[in-house]
Amino acid sequence: SEVYRAGVGGAKPAVPVDHAALEQAARKAISAEAFAYLAGGAGGEATMAANRAAFSRWQVWPRVLRDVAARDLSIELLGRRRATPFILSPIGVAELAHADADVAVGRAASELDVPYVLSNQASRPMEEVAAAMGAGSRWFQLYWSRSDELNASFLRRAEAVGCEAVVVTLDTHLLGWRTRDLDAAFLPFTRGQGIAQYTSDPVFAELVRDRVARSTGPGERPRVTPTLLRSAFSIARSAVGTRLVDGGVRDALRSPLPRAAVETFLDVFSDPSLTWDDLARLREWTSLPVLLKGVLHPDDASRALDHGVDGIVVSNHGGRQVDRSVATLDALPAIVERVAGSVPIVLDSGIRGGADAVIALSLGATAVGIGRPYAYGLAVAGQEGVREVVRNHIAELDLTLGLAGHRSVAELGPETLRAAG
């Protein structure tokens, strides 16, 4: 009713309510390369299409005359009551959408009491985002680095800034075949806009220092501060421009610090050799609850349970990693069956509004993650844009729930739906 009342009162929304219009508004608000990065998927973007198509195979089956005057959207997740079943999935390189980047998202998330998963590839250090969020609920998303010291350091920092959980993303051990980025010859990470967790990290600084010392000979151990690291990346960025590969890059990166910073980052970013056996190490680094993001197969869900994880995020990274992958909503039921209520299941990839959330929750998701829609809101109107997009998801969920004849999210189940066609 807040949304309708504001509209009737003549207040113009900061962002379009319709998703397609929102996407178009974001396209206009930012550079072509930035939009390509936000909106694009892997390969021919068949996974992105499949994520959406999967929702069309289900229909909400409304019931009437069931007293839905009072409705409860809250859920229990990781030991806490949450106002709604939404979380904000981690989105890296948010600076491409808006200069306020992760700070704007964090503030909007706090305002609406929605947990925000801080990205490993954030544009702002987690300390700064956490400070802006106040008491707002935050989790930290880890890309498991080849450097155990760096993993431990990121997780130490996440605990120190009050993150409630760690989401380990397992689908990005290699970067997907991102067609639009390749066509734009665009590599955001080396452009320095998604490396704030690294430039602010003491262990990363040490790794860069070691590398400089190795390349310039013993005795040369430069001081490496966050400021120096940031300028090293921006030197690399201006050398790279928007080109992935360019003769000038190698020349510019002959200067030791920028070169060492970029090479160290590329070296440690991920570890494609990880196996289930490595998971035990994670527990040595943190006592926070651990969720695995990128689980799509029920057998992997079972293995995750065997390893004592605290939650599963059914995600295909918004179709940005494996093209022609299974859609998340299609993957969900078998995983729900295997998990059998023992840990929470978050679903993302394809959620575009509250009605989509109703479908995912009815099929057994505990919570749903919003991705691109809030990034588009950020691009169009910063913090206010994110707030409106998320609020619209909440409002549509509330209305769909009530119109379908349900009083609470807890009431949703397979009987809420009917297979289409």
256 binds ligand FNR (CB under 6 A): no
261 lies in the site for ligand FNR, by CB under 6 A: no
Q: Is 157 left (phi over 0), alpha (psi -120 to 50) or beta?
A: alpha
Q: Does 351 bind ligand FNR (CB under 6 A)?
A: yes
372 part of the interface to ligand FNR, by CB under 6 A: yes
SS3 185: coil
Q: Which residues contact 279 (CB under 8 A, 6 or more apart)?
A: 307, 309
What is the distance, to the nearest Å, from the Cα of residue 284 to the centroid of all Cα atoms in its chain?
Answer: 24
Max CA pair span of the chain: 80
| Binding status of residue 394 toward ligand FNR by CB under 6 A | no
Query: What is residue 292's three-state secondary structure?
Result: strand
Binding site for glyoxylate: which residues? Answer: 37, 119, 143, 178, 317, 320
* Catalytic residue of the set 19, 98, 173, 317: 317
Q: How far apart are CA 120 and CA 139, in angstroms?
A: 11
Tell me if residue 406 is catalytic.
no
Q: Which is nearer to ligand FNR, 121 or 400 (CB)?
A: 121
Nearer to ligand FNR, 212 or 381 (CB): 381
CB of 271 to ligand FNR, least distance (A): 15
Q: Is 417 helix (H, G, I), strand (E, B) or coil?
A: strand
Place of tokens 């508004």: 25
Q: Tell the smallest beta-carbon distance from residue 399 to ligand FNR (Å).
A: 21
Cβ contact 382:30 at 8 Å: no
Question: Does 332 contact ligand FNR by CB under 6 A?
Answer: no
Nearest distance from C-beta of residue 265 to ligand FNR, angstroms = 14
Out of 26, 30, 34, 38, which residue is the one contacting ligand FNR (CB under 6 A)? 38
Cβ–Cβ under 8 Å, residues 310 and 289: yes
Binding of ligand FNR at residue 43 (CB under 6 A)? no
Distance of closest approach, residue 6 Cβ to ligand FNR, in angstroms: 25
Of 92 and 125, which has the nearer Cβ to ligand FNR? Answer: 92
Q: Per-residue string for binding with ligand FNR, 283-322, x by CB under 6 A?
A: ----------x---------------------x-xx-x--
Distance, in Å, from the CA atom of 23 to the CA atom of 4, rounded to the nearest integer, reads 22
- From candidates 166, 375, 386, 395, binder to ligand FNR by CB under 6 A: 375
| Minimum CB distance to ligand FNR, residue 21 (Å) | 17
At residue 345, the 3 state secondary structure works out as strand
3-class DSSP assignment, residue 143: strand
Residue 65 Cβ vs ligand FNR, minimum distance, rounded to whole Å:
35
The interface region with ligand FNR, picked from 2-10, 108-116, 117-125, 337-345 by CB under 6 A, is: 117-125
Question: Residue from 123, 137, 141, 392 that binds ligand FNR (CB under 6 A)?
Answer: 141
Q: Interaction with ligand FNR in 73-102: which residues (CB under 6 A)? A: 89-92
Q: CA torsion 344→346→347→351, rounded to 10°?
A: 130
Tell me: does residue 119 bind ligand FNR (CB under 6 A). Answer: yes
Q: What's the distance, CA 125 to chain centroid? A: 15
Interface with ligand FNR, residue 36, by CB under 6 A:
no
DSSP characters for 163-174?
A: ---EEEE-S-SS
Task: Estimate to the nearest angstrom the gap between the alpha carbon of 339 and the chain centroid.
Answer: 23
Distances (CA, A) of 206 to 128, 197, 265: 22, 14, 12
Place of tokens 């802006």: 132
- Which residue sits closest to ligand FNR, CB atoms considered? 371
Look-up of token digits 């130490």: 156
Residues forming contacts to ligand FNR in the complex (CB under 6 A) are 37-38, 89-92, 119-121, 141, 169, 293, 315, 317-318, 320, 348-351, 371-372, 375
| Residues carrying an active site annotation | 317
